[in-house]
A = this chain, B = another copy of it.
């Protein structure tokens, strides 16, 4: 068997641990030089493949690759670029195969969410058709935790740990201030369609904190919401509200879309948090504070879940091992064997069943009133945030790695995307 090169790319929004998957892919590949000659990474994701802008990872030291395990973000650059359907844009898929052929690439590792699973699947199919078979493996990544089949997605556990910890800390703060000042704290979290991240905020209930969660899956009922806030403040003197950026009214409008205009008449882009905070203020008069975590939550490698880091690395490693075992058109998955004690193993799912399927919060994970999480949900979430895995610090700040990202010499004509 002649050694082939591998291609690896990061896709979509990055996470605190996607580089841990990259680390798993590259370290494992380096252990099999007889089968994988080199790993080329796409600069800025799949765009790097289309434009033949490849990064030669062999230029990186073992220490630099090891440091990816504790470096957030996408070390090779990511992109938001969804390939159109095979029918609509066969040209791009054919270009991918052309680039793979030119650089003797036999393995395609694509690290992303639902869209990239779809791309990965199509590459595996088309490469067969075009007579240059490429083993295409999708390595799962998404803070949104919305991929099917896998019990959870690498990237999610760390953001869940960050949101639960931050909500807990801020709730301690609000509790201190509530007598004469802030009574309601609103924290906006990511999750445009699925409420998994918001659900993590609900975990602080078991730390005696009154918390109310607004999920994208549950239509916002303003009257019932305000009654619940009032009941919580009456009972506890304060409350914390965790609102998903995707929370919406029954008519489908996001809470964040208020049609507000600034002094110049421009549409004002706001968040859901200030909207919710102002609603509470108007109706109940409570002093509030609000925060929008945005990128802080998904970049917070300093508070990563050890479990998440291990799973991110393991799915990267498993992807390579599965490829070496001859597999293609699959995604390594996390299989939960038991919740308490938490035991898991790596499984696999066919990409045909992964691509373009979104997994939402099951209704039984949300309390009947729609404002909290159930015991079943806590049982699901808690294992995923277990353990700490602090990055090294130097001179007060985390010591992350920035790779050299040396280019591979181009062999093909320019391709316009």
Which A residues contact B (CB, under 8 angstroms)?
A: 10, 13-14, 16, 44-45, 47, 71-75, 77-81, 161, 164-166, 168-170, 172-182, 185, 187, 203-204, 207-208, 258-263, 266, 268-271, 273-275, 277-278, 281-282, 289-296, 298-303, 305, 382, 385-388, 390, 393, 395-398, 400, 402
Report 25 cross-chain contacts, Cβ distance below 8 Å, ordered by A residue.
A10-B176, A14-B177, A16-B169, A44-B179, A73-B176, A75-B176, A77-B175, A77-B176, A77-B178, A79-B180, A80-B177, A164-B396, A165-B398, A173-B299, A261-B261, A266-B278, A266-B282, A269-B278, A271-B274, A271-B292, A289-B295, A291-B292, A291-B294, A291-B296, A386-B395
Q: Which residues does chain B contribute within 8 Å of A172, judged by CB atoms? A: 71-73, 299, 400
**Closest chain B CB from A268 CB (angstroms):** 5
Q: Which residues does chain B contribute within 8 Å of A269, judged by CB atoms? A: 274, 277-278, 281
Q: CA–CA, A268 to B270, complex, Å?
A: 10
- Given A172-B72, A301-B169, answer yes or no on A80-B400 (Cβ-Cβ < 8 Å): no
- Say yes or no: A168 contacts B400, CB within 8 Å: yes
Q: CA–CA, A402 to B171, complex, Å?
A: 12
- Given A172-B71, A262-B278, A291-B294, answer yes or no on A13-B177 (Cβ-Cβ < 8 Å): yes
- Say yes or no: B397 contacts A203, CB within 8 Å: yes
**Closest chain B CB from A87 CB (angstroms):** 23
Q: CA–CA, A164 to B398, complex, Å?
A: 10
Q: CA–CA, A178 to B387, complex, Å?
A: 32
- Say yes or no: A161 contacts B396, CB within 8 Å: yes
- Say yes or no: B396 contacts A385, CB within 8 Å: yes
Known contacts A10-B176, A47-B180, A72-B173; can you find 19 more A-B pairs with CB under 8 A? Answer: A73-B172, A75-B176, A164-B396, A165-B398, A169-B400, A170-B294, A185-B295, A258-B262, A268-B278, A269-B281, A270-B270, A273-B292, A289-B295, A291-B292, A291-B295, A303-B303, A382-B395, A382-B396, A387-B396
- Given A169-B302, A398-B169, answer yes or no on A73-B175 (Cβ-Cβ < 8 Å): yes
Closest Cβ neighbor of A174 among chain B residues: B295
Q: CA–CA, A262 to B14, complex, Å?
A: 33
- Say yes or no: B282 contacts A176, CB within 8 Å: no
